């Protein structure tokens, strides 16, 4: 709880710093504040405290995902020095909005009441609508913002409607009360579950509610897209799982088939479309859709160490995405665009960047000894334990397709030449963040027990 307060206060403080033009203090203050928030969250470990008459529950699940969200944001801030300055003069707003979004994310992973879930999602989403459209003069950015807002508004509508129906069926917003209400057979309840599923699917870009993803990612500034792909997706899935684990687990026989179909749709839509992308940012956007599919597999296995599987998968996915988006930003800034051809010859000019990106896409593709491999392995394992063999077979076919398109960028970097490529300059923040990411991907790849034993 203290961590949530710190993040919210920090956001306000950052706004004031911007007001008084202390631009140089923005980054240090944000980073210190986030470190403090992470430390505070860690102190809540094993306490299982309820807050505000059972509105929020800081259990280990909430603590683990809060820390993951905060640390991911920290990594993104590490890349942001001199980044927002290039876009506009009002830098403080970026930091403040991202921190507000993070606060929303923390609420989303710790809610114990449907009202808090809604509030968390709204805090997160509204900050993101602004962030997506923050390059006001850029039509693509405007398009992204408008699209995201319209789609998001619809999704919110579905979510609210679902919440209302569930309240009608069970008489409560409280997760524990819903779980023990025994109203699982009523049509009202079932409609509510499905509508909430639709609303959440929008947020985590699960097909067929994913259509906004590529355009919004493409139109938003690179770091914001990175934030959406990592923090927002992690928070969304943590909320998704928390809701279905704590409130709807008993009714899983009813919604499992829907989730399974969504999972297949998402996997195929994401992966097959990604094959045909020739811009790296769009490719990453579609691949992020496909990763939502793998995560749905874990949600299907509710109760069978699903939370641990989702945690491992999101850690691996966030680390790899930070590296992939970060290098995409560097390359598109230095070479004008993020076309796959822009990556040609990167291995010769910047061996470190090429190596990091290779490791990142290997982790996304699930090659052993990277964190992503164990993430996939774990998710497949819990799904197989639940007897979803056919689903896992389809997921494996999709993992194969994934490798094909992820390797396109490796081919470009290592096997294609670009005669007039010059080395890309790295600032110390980038070097530090990318080194940390490389280290962690290897560490969690070789010793996955470090993260798999948390929950």
Partner 1 sequence: MSWISTIIFLPVVFLVIILLLPSRFREWYRYITLGTAILQAGIACIIYLRFDQAGSDGFQFLEKVPWIHLSLGNLGRLEIDYFLGVDGLSAPLLILSAVVMVAAAISSWEIKENMKGYFALFLLMDAAIMGVFCALDFFLFYVFYELMLLPLYFLIGMWGGPRREYAALKFFLYTLFGSVFMLLVIVGLYFSVTDPVSGAYTFNMLHMMDAANFVPGAVFSPEVVQTILGVPARLLGFAVIFIAFAIKVPVVPLHTWLPDAHVEAPTPISIILAGLLLKIGGYGILRICFGIFPDSALYFSWFIGMLGVISILYGALNALAMKDLKKLIAYSSVSHMGFVLLGFASFTTEGTSGALLQMVSHGILSTMLFFLVGVLYNRVHDRFIPNFRGLASHMPHYTAFVMVAFFASLGLPGFSAFIAEAFTLIGTFNSQSVNGLLPRWMAIAGSLGILLSAAYFLWTLQRMFFGTTRFRGGEAWSKQLIDLRPHEWAVLLPMALLTLMLGIFPSLFFDLSNSALANMVQELFETGKRHLDSLQYTNNLRF
Task: Give the sign of the dihedral formed by CA 373, CA 367, CA 220, CA 160.
Answer: negative
Least Cβ distance, residue 396 to partner 1 (angstroms): 5
Of 414, 434, 440, 441, the residue at the interface with partner 1 (CB under 8 A) is 414
CB 227 within 8 A of CB 74: no
Of 377, 418, 431, 436, the residue at the interface with partner 1 (CB under 8 A) is 377
Residue with Cβ nearer partner 1 (411 or 422): 411
Least Cβ distance, residue 48 to partner 1 (angstroms): 17
Residue with Cβ nearer partner 1 (333 or 416): 416
CB burial of residue 35 (10 Å; 0-12, 13-18, 19+): middle
CB 263 within 8 A of CB 297: yes
Region 296-335 residues binding partner 1, contact defined as CB under 8 A:
303-305, 308
Residue 417 interacts with partner 1 (CB under 8 A): yes or no: no
Residue 406 interacts with partner 1 (CB under 8 A): yes or no: no
Residue 367 interacts with partner 1 (CB under 8 A): yes or no: yes
Residue 392 interacts with partner 1 (CB under 8 A): yes or no: yes
Measured between alpha carbons, how far is residue 370 from residues 317, 320, 397, 432, 438 in Å?
Answer: 11, 10, 20, 19, 9
Residue 276 interacts with partner 1 (CB under 8 A): yes or no: no
CB 163 within 8 A of CB 190: no
Residues 6+ apart with CB under 8 A from 65: 109, 234, 235, 238, 311, 314
Residue with Cβ nearer partner 1 (113 or 386): 386
Q: Is 221 left (phi over 0), alpha (psi -120 to 50) or beta?
A: beta
Three-state DSSP state, 174: strand
Report the C-alpha gap between 290 and 287 in whole angstroms: 5
CB 220 within 8 A of CB 177: no
Report the C-alpha gap between 62 and 78 in whole angstroms: 24
- How many residues sit in the footprint of partner 1 (CB under 8 A)? 35
Residue 150 interacts with partner 1 (CB under 8 A): yes or no: no
Residue 81 interacts with partner 1 (CB under 8 A): yes or no: no
Which range, of 191-199, 337-345, 419-427, 442-450, touches partner 1 by CB under 8 A?
442-450
Residue 362 interacts with partner 1 (CB under 8 A): yes or no: yes
Residue 407 interacts with partner 1 (CB under 8 A): yes or no: yes
As a residue count, the chain comes to 455
Which range, of 23-31, 252-260, 322-330, 377-385, touches partner 1 by CB under 8 A?
377-385
Of 23, 333, 381, 431, the residue at the interface with partner 1 (CB under 8 A) is 381
Residue with Cβ nearer partner 1 (118 or 373): 373
Residue with Cβ nearer partner 1 (171 or 368): 368
Report the C-alpha gap between 85 and 74 in whole angstroms: 18
Residues that bind partner 1 (CB under 8 A): 303-305, 308, 347, 362, 367-369, 373, 377, 380-382, 384-385, 389-390, 392-393, 396, 399-400, 403-404, 407, 411, 414-416, 447-449, 452-453
């Amino acid at each position: 709880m203290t961590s949530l307060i710190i993040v919210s206060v920090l956001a306000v403080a950052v706004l004031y710093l911007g007001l008084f033009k202390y631009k140089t203090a923005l980054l240090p203050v944000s980073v210190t504040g986030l470190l403090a928030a992470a430390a505070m969250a860690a102190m809540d470990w094993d306490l299982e405290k309820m807050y505000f008459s059972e509105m929020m529950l800081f259990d280990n699940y909430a603590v683990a995902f809060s820390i993951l969200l905060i640390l991911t944001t920290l990594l993104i801030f590490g890349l942001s020095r001199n980044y927002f300055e290039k876009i506009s003069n009002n830098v403080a707003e970026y930091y403040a909005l991202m921190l507000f979004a993070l606060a929303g994310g923390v609420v989303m992973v710790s809610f114990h009441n449907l009202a808090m879930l809604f509030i968390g999602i709204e805090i997160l989403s509204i900050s993101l609508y602004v962030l997506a459209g923050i390059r006001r003069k850029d039509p693509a950015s405007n398009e992204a913002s408008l699209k995201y807002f319209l789609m998001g508004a619809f999704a919110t509508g579905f979510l609210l409607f679902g919440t209302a129906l569930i309240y009608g069926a069970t008489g409560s917003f409280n997760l524990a009360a819903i779980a023990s209400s025994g109203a699982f057979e009523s049509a009202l309840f079932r409609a509510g579950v499905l509508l909430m599923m639709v609303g959440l699917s929008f947020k985590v870009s699960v097909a067929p509610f994913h259509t906004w993803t590529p355009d919004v990612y493409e139109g938003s500034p690179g770091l914001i897209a990175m934030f959406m792909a990592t923090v927002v997706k992690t928070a969304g899935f943590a909320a998704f799982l928390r809701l279905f684990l704590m409130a709807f687990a008993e009714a899983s026989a009813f919604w499992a088939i829907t989730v399974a179909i969504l999972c297949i749709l998402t996997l195929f839509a994401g992966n097959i479309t990604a094959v045909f992308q020739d811009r790296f940012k769009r490719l990453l956007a579609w691949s992020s859709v496909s990763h939502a599919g793998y995560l749905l597999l874990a949600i299907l296995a509710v109760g069978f160490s699903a939370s641990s599987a989702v945690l491992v998968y999101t850690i691996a996915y966030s680390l790899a995405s930070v590296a992939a988006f970060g290098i995409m930003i560097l390359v598109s800034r230095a070479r004008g665009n993020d076309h796959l051809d822009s990556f040609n010859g990167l291995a010769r000019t910047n061996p470190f960047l090429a190596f990091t990106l290779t490791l990142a896409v290997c982790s996304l593709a699930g090659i052993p000894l990277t964190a992503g491999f164990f993430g996939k392995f774990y998710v497949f394992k819990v799904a197989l334990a639940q007897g979803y063999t056919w689903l896992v077979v389809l997921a494996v076919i999709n993992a194969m397709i994934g490798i094909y398109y992820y390797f396109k960028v490796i081919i470009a970097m290592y096997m294609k030449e670009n005669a007039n490529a010059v080395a890309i300059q790295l600032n110390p923040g980038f070097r530090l963040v990318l080194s940390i990411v490389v280290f962690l991907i290897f560490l969690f790849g070789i010793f996955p027990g470090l993260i798999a034993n948390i929950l």
